[in-house]
Amino acid sequence: MVLSGTQPGRSRLRYLLFAALGVIGIVFLWTTTGTDTKQLKEVVSSWPAAVASHFSDADNDSIPSSEVAQGDPANAPYFVLIGDSTTRGQAKDGGGWGDGFLWLLTRGASGVNRGFNGALSTGYFHSPIWEEAIEDIRKMAASRNVYVTIQFGHNDQAPNSNVTLDLYQEALVGMAREVLAAGATPILVTPLARRDFEADGVTVTDNLKDQRERTLLAFQEVLSAQEPDNKPARLINLNAASLAYIGAIGKTASFRYNKFHPFLPDTTHLNELGAIVFGRVVADLILGHPPSLVPSGQKDTWAPGKGNNDDGLSGYIAPDPYMTGLLWHGDAI
């Protein structure tokens, strides 16, 4: 009688022990296993054809395939991504949009992610990493159109960085000018917004405002002194666009893009899903999409290459009208 009464309790204890070990094992694998970018890229490329269909024109009708910019593989552009960990790829312990953007390149277009974890604008500029990047840019610009994104700000704003706003702006201007001198097109990028919210849990904290404004001023400074024969420098306001999107989808949805941290929510760095989402945002901005959301219920009349300043790049960045539609109407992904 004693044995039959204790057996169910032992079985339950055994099941609980196995379940606990299973949970611990899953957490261990989640936190120690590196990102398989090849597998993730294959998953993205296997999405339904409807997701990768042609862009829609201003009337939201399908553009005939003969009119869609196809791109010339012989003149395909080359991208160099410069920045901190919010540019660097997840497979290299970063938490940025860079690899998510590079995965969208097509028809011979290619690029390299030179984001560096913990980088300051002033520390990156004139460092061996920068000199190596400029040499790569100069070499590739001899035969291809080269575009160089430059995004800093997250580490520069730290109190112990010793980087004043003037030094920050000066570094951005200096990098852009060296890119121009190397024969390439600099694209200054305002820093990716942090997914931080005020105490009400609804209002997004605009905590990179100063860096955003100084990036805009740096762009104007570069343009004002630029040689007329050079291709003009460009700018995309990623900070404004990401602030608008994060605010639209809310705190809970935006936290789905956080890079895993065992103790606190990481609202600065992106996980793989975040890289895909904000890599798409960067691509759309480069193709000419305004950094503001389309009002709810209204049609999005934007179409890359249809009167927008895409610099001929719409033939080299894979379209995704489904994701683009969700993003610019403020819907969570």
Q: Please give the pLDDT value at position 306.
A: 65
Which of 65-74, 142-151, 305-314 is least confident?
65-74
> How, if at all, do strands 78-83 and 110-115 pair?
parallel
Residue 39 lies in a domain: no
Question: Within a domain: residue 333?
Answer: no
Beta bridge partners of residue 188, listed in sequence order: 150, 235
Q: Is the pLDDT of residue 300 over 90?
A: no
Give the number of domains in the chain.
1
10 pLDDT above the threshold of 50: yes
Cα–Cα dist 90/271, whole Å: 7
pLDDT tens readout for residues 52-107: 333 333 333 333 333 344 667 778 999 999 999 999 999 999 999 999 999 999 99
Share of the chain above pLDDT 90, in %: 64
Q: Give a yes or no: residue 53 inside a domain.
A: no
Inside any domain, residue 28: no
Length of the chain: 333
Task: Tell me which of 137 and 306 has the higher pLDDT.
Answer: 137
Please indicate, yes or no, if residue 190 is contained in any of the structural domains: yes
Please report, for the domain that includes residue 152, its CATH number: 3.40.50.1110
Q: Which residues, other chains included, contact 152 with Cβ-Cβ below 8 Å and sequence gap of 6+?
A: 83, 84, 119, 120, 121, 124, 168, 171, 172, 191, 211
8 A C-beta contact, residue 186 and residue 148: yes
Q: What is the mean pLDDT of residues 98-125?
A: 97
277 to 78, 109, 151, 214: CA distances (angstroms): 21, 20, 17, 25
More confident residue, 119 or 311: 119
Does residue 87 form part of some domain?
yes
Does residue 234 form part of some domain?
yes
Compute the distance between CA of residue 317 and CA of residue 114 in angstroms, rounded to an integer.
19
Q: Is residue 116 part of a domain?
A: yes
pLDDT(2) > 80: no
Condensed to tens digits (0 to 9), the pLDDT of residues 229-280 reads 777 899 999 999 999 999 999 999 999 999 999 889 999 999 999 999 999 9
- What residues make up the domain containing 142? 62-328
Grouping H, G, I as helix, E, B as strand and the rest as coil, residue 72 is coil
The Cα angle at residue 126 between residues 120 and 127, in degrees rounded to 5: 70
What confidence score (pLDDT) does residue 328 get?
Answer: 93
For residue 20 the two structure tokens come to 């606990």
- Neighbour tally for 36: CB within 10 Å: 12
Q: DSSP string covering 194-217, please?
A: P--B-TTSSSBP-TTHHHHHHHHH
pLDDT tens per residue across span 193-237: 999 999 999 999 999 999 999 999 999 999 998 777 777 899 999
pTM of the complete model: 0.80
